[in-house]
Each structure stands twice: as C-alpha cells, then as structure tokens.
C-alpha cells in the first residue's frame, strides 16, 4: 500500500505545480484502483471487484476536482467537490460494510473521512508553502492508509479463515 499512497502524494505535487507528468501520474494512480478491485475478486467475485474499482476510481477523479478548486482558490467549487468526495466515501463505506461484517459501516466512514481530511491538509499546506505541515500531513496520511489496509486485511482473514490456514 506504500506505493499507491506515494503516487497519491505525487499526484498532488504534480497537479499543484502544473508538472508535465500530471496526466501520466493520474493514469497510473487510476490503475492502482483497478488493481485493488482485482485483489478482492477471489473473495467477493468479479462484480464486487469491478464495483470497488469503480468507486475507488471515482475517489481519484474527485480528488482532481478538489485539487483544481483549491489551487484556483475557488471556495464554492471546493465545497462542491468536497461534498462529492464525502458522498463517494459514504458509498465506499456502504460497499465495504455490505461485503464484510468485520468492516462496520461507521468505522469505514470515519476512516475514509480521516483520509479525506489528511489529503486536504496536505493539499492546503502545499498550496500555502507550509512545508513542515505538508510533510506532517503526508506522514500521517501514509500511516493512516497502511492502518486502513491492515484493517481491511484483518476483515478478510476473519471472514474467510479457511483460505488462510496453512
């Protein structure tokens, strides 16, 4: 999960600085979402894998709107994009909790909203050139996404213990 988060941060840096690699970074970041969908197919089936990939791709596409609005200083567009981002987080939480009872909905919502807050903090800090805060948000976001991934893995192991016996 470290590399996907690294790409998440790389996208933020590239998009805010108008670097020439922004499109390619976004393309690679979107491919990660497909990889995550593929990873759950052995447990939840093809349709669930495609659904999760779609929800996660939407998450990435909305972050591009958040970054663009923040960069332009357009608070109205930023508020609309943020609401869209929260709705997507809610959809992801519902999907996950419906798939696995070891992933309670409110816990997933809380984790996803924290992810949104940490990402927003990273974007805002970078825009304000508050480098220490930018690095702090990156570190916290990285640790959070690793914890989130571990909690998802734990839920899969609890739901399908027979697949993990030696």
Domain ranges of the chain: 2-158
- Could you say which DSSP state residue 18 is in? T
Q: What is the pLDDT of residue 166?
A: 72
**In contact, 142 and 5? CB cutoff 8 Å:** yes
**In contact, 126 and 134? CB cutoff 8 Å:** yes
Residue 85's nearest CA partner among 37, 53, 117, 108 is 117
- State yes or no: pLDDT of 4 exceeds 80: no
Cα separation of the two ends of the chain = 24
Q: What is the pLDDT of residue 8?
A: 83
- State yes or no: pLDDT of 81 exceeds 90: yes
Q: What is the mean pLDDT of residues 49-76?
A: 93
- State yes or no: pLDDT of 112 exceeds 80: yes
**In contact, 78 and 69? CB cutoff 8 Å:** yes
């Amino acid at each position: 999960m470290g590399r996907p988060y690294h790409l998440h941060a790389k996208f933020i840096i590239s998009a805010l600085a108008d670097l020439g690699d922004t499109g390619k970074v976004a393309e690679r970041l979107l491919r990660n979402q497909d990889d995550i969908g593929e990873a759950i197919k052995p447990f939840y089936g093809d349709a669930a894998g495609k659904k999760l990939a779609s929800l996660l791709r939407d998450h990435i596409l909305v972050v591009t709107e958040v970054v663009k609005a923040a960069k332009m200083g357009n608070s109205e567009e930023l508020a609309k994009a943020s609401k869209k981002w929260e709705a997507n987080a809610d959809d992801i939480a519902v999907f996950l909790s419906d798939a696995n009872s070891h992933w309670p909905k409110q816990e997933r919502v809380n984790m996803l909203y924290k992810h949104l807050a940490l990402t927003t903090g990273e974007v805002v800090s970078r825009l304000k050139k508050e480098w220490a805060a930018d690095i702090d948000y990156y570190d916290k976001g990285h640790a959070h996404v690793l914890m989130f991934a571990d909690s998802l893995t734990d839920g899969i192991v609890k739901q399908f213990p027979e697949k993990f016996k030696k």
